[in-house]
Structure 1
Amino acid sequence: MCIGHLITGFHSGDPCSFSRNGSITLYITQGIFTTSDLVLVIFIIELIKALLLGFTVGISAALIPGPMMFATIGISLKKGWKTGLYVFSGHALAELGIFLLILLGAVSIIGKSMMSYIAIMGGMVMLLFGVVLMKSAKGAGTTDFAASASKLNLTSGPVSAGILTSVLNPTFVVWWLTAGSAIILQEHMAGMLAVIAFIAGHWIADLGFLVAVSSSFSRGKELISSRTHKRVLYICGGFMAIFGFWFLVNYNGFSAMT
């Protein structure tokens, strides 16, 4: 009730808040918070949200078997657990270039109407991606990753493998041109720190997963059981579908915030 009053405006006589020197003070238990404190709390929550969103996007994409996963497994069978670090470095370089293009190019030329279109396209892609994730969960654990990866003739190093398996992957490009760019532009509205938090969360997921994969397969062990793999895919797919639906419902808000 008190928080609702604080959001909708100051209500005189409200025991939860009062005006002093042009600011609202909120009493919660024995503590006193001014509007500047509340703004700081909201900003921190926004950063945490961006970090978690980045992590969810990163781990969702990583769990789907693709060129980069197979390259990581194939090289780690020969070069050990550090393969994940090097593959991630190449992948991060490719993504950094895309992030800069989105921020430096798109932010300066995109208008209000275009932001709405990007939000709609991004929402549709995220919704579709979530459905695909949940569908792929049914067949999770049936692929022999080590056997498939060992058949690859990998002549490039792990860093170049990380770059090539990223930029030459159509799914990677389509994702960042649609849903990915919509997310980054949305976080940019909250400030560059929110963008950095999203990227940090995304890279934490990528790095952690790739190192876990290379460590696991270099020792000849399974990373996770098929049952756990399925559950994680269902959870990530559900989150991605929810995010996509939110983008579609709130597309008008994107144009209003530009």
Structure 2
Amino acid sequence: MSLVELGVLGFVIGLTGALAPGPTLIATIQSAISEGWKSGPKVTCGHIFAELLVVILIAAGIPFLPTGSSLLIAVVGGTALFVFGVLTIQSARGATLSLVSRASGSGSPVVAGLITSISNPYFWIWWFSVGSALLISSLASGLAGLIAFILGHWLSDLSWFTLVSVSIHKSRVLLGDREYKYILYACGAVLMIFGIWFVVSGIFKPV
């Protein structure tokens, strides 16, 4: 893959992870009530700090992978992508951006982004299954490939959480519950497609 393709892949796959309902999304919504649209980028910064540590841990362990492990990585990563796609579609049925709590926290949105990320089991499951497999694959293009992938991934986080904070700040005229569900359905389908592609490309990869 070219660096541009890796960046686009990182963005698309990252968006499916960012969209998943969870504590980081809730932190963004609550912060937007009191701090406006800037809470989205601030929460994203905290989220990136958490992911940077994970990326370093995964990248540091890559040289110690046994030879011939690419097929296993492709099968495990692709299967995880497919499963996350199914779960995303299932979660879309009851997904909502409704403000469950109007109480806005007094803490920093950056800290909220960091804490809600590392305390979320989904975060760790995603990175040590889907994320690690994709990172390893991106390194086939060298360090530049990994950087392109992770920058695309972070851009998706920034885009989504900023859109949410702007939407909340503007009385949700930009994004409603119905639109949110449609986006989740689309992302679930994309995850499933990429999962199948990842497994097939790993199995039929030239030796």
- TM-score (structure 1 length as normaliser): 0.73
Larger RCO: 1 or 2 (CA < 8 Å, sep 6+) = 2
| Aligned match of 1:139 | 94
**Structure showing greater Rg:** 1
| Aligned match of 1:120 | 75
| C-alpha contact 1:70 1:149 (8 A) present in aligned 2 | no
Per the TM alignment, residue 62 of structure 1 is displaced from its structure 2 partner at its CA by: 2.0
In the alignment, structure 1 residue 65 sits paired with structure 2 residue 21: yes
Q: Percent identity?
A: 38
Runs of 4+ in structure 1 deviating by more than 4 angstroms, as ranges, are 252-256
In the alignment, structure 1 residue 206 sits paired with structure 2 residue 161: no
Q: How do 1:1-258 residues align onto structure 2 when only pairs under 5 Å count?
A: 46-105=2-61, 107-140=62-95, 143-146=96-99, 148-151=100-103, 154-252=105-203
SS in 1 for 2:46: helix
Deviation per CA, 1:58-92: give whole Å up to 9, x if none.
21122222100101111111122111121111111
1:126, 1:255 → 2: CA distance? 22
Cα–Cα, structure 1 residues 83 and 255, in superposed 2: closer, same or farther, change >3 Å?
farther
2:17, 2:5 → 1: CA distance? 18
Per the TM alignment, residue 136 of structure 1 is displaced from its structure 2 partner at its CA by: 2.6
Cα–Cα, structure 1 residues 63 and 149, in superposed 2: closer, same or farther, change >3 Å?
farther
Aligned partner of 2:142: which letter? Answer: G
| C-alpha contact 2:97 2:176 (8 A) present in aligned 1 | no
Per the TM alignment, residue 177 of structure 1 is displaced from its structure 2 partner at its CA by: 0.6
Per the TM alignment, residue 118 of structure 1 is displaced from its structure 2 partner at its CA by: 2.6
Cα–Cα, structure 1 residues 144 and 178, in superposed 2: closer, same or farther, change >3 Å?
closer
Aligned partner of 2:54: which letter? Answer: I
1:80, 1:179 → 2: CA distance? 32
Aligned partner of 1:69: which letter? Answer: L
5+ long unaligned stretches in structure 1: 1-44
Aligned partner of 1:245: which letter? Answer: I
SS in 2 for 1:220: coil
| C-alpha contact 1:115 1:255 (8 A) present in aligned 2 | no
| C-alpha contact 2:167 2:175 (8 A) present in aligned 1 | no
Aligned partner of 2:167: which letter? Answer: S
| C-alpha contact 1:71 1:149 (8 A) present in aligned 2 | no
SS in 1 for 2:93: helix
- TM-score (structure 2 length as normaliser): 0.90
5+ long unaligned stretches in structure 2: none
Cα–Cα, structure 1 residues 255 and 100, in superposed 2: closer, same or farther, change >3 Å?
farther
1:221, 1:246 → 2: CA distance? 36
Aligned pairs, how many?
A: 207
The CA RMSD measured in Å over matched residues stands at 2.1
